[in-house]
Amino acid sequence: MKALHDFVKKYEPSKENKMAHTVFDGFYTFLFQPDTVTSDGTHIKDGMDLKRLMVNVVLALQVLYIFGTWNIGHQHFLALGEHTGLLEGFHLKIVYGLIQILPIFVVTHVVGLGIEFFYAGRKGHAIEEGFLVSGALIPLIMPPDIPLLWLAIAIAFAVILGKEAFGGTGMNIWNVALLARVFIFFAYPTTISGDEVWVSGIEKVGTEYFAASYNWAHGLFDWIFSGVGLSQFGAGGQAVVDGWTGATPLGIAAKEGWEGVTAVYSTDAMFWGGIPGSIGEMSVPLIVLGMIFLIVTKIADYRVIFGGLIGFVVCALMMNAIAPPMDALTEDMDGVFKFMAIPWYYQMIMGSFLFAITFMATDPVSSADTPTGKWIYGFLIAFIGLIIRVMNPAYPEGWMLSILLMNTFAPLIDHYVYQANMNRRAKRTAAMAEQRNELITKRGDLPVFDENSDYVPVGNTSGQ
Collapsing DSSP to helix, strand or coil, 236 comes out as strand
Q: What pLDDT is attached to residue 107?
A: 95
Residue 362 domain flag: yes
Q: Average pLDDT, stretch 31-52?
A: 54
* 208 and 131 within one domain: yes
Residue 332 domain flag: yes
What's the one-letter identity of residue 95?
A: V
* 337 and 238 within one domain: no
* 228 and 99 within one domain: yes
Domain coverage including residue 189? 14-32+49-246
What distances in angstroms separate CA 246 from CA 201, 295, 397, 408, 450, one per listed residue?
11, 34, 16, 34, 84
* 187 and 56 within one domain: yes
Least confident interval from 165-174, 306-315, 342-351, 446-455? 446-455
Domain tally, the chain: 2
Least confident interval from 176-185, 204-213, 442-451? 442-451
Residue 105 domain flag: yes
333-367 confidence digits (pLDDT tens): 888 899 999 999 999 999 899 999 999 999 888 89
Residue 402 domain flag: yes
Q: Largest Cα–Cα distance of the chain, in whole Å? A: 107
* 61 and 176 within one domain: yes
Residue 450 domain flag: no
What angle is formed at CA 71 by the lines to CA 66 and CA 77, rounded to 5 degrees? 140
In angstroms, the CA 388 to CA 263 distance is 24
Residue 267 domain flag: no
In angstroms, the CA 322 to CA 314 distance is 13
Residue 415 domain flag: yes
* 59 and 205 within one domain: yes
In angstroms, the CA 347 to CA 254 distance is 12
* 209 and 121 within one domain: yes
Residue 292 domain flag: no
* 230 and 315 within one domain: no
Q: What pLDDT is attached to residue 102?
A: 96
What's the one-letter identity of residue 242?
A: D
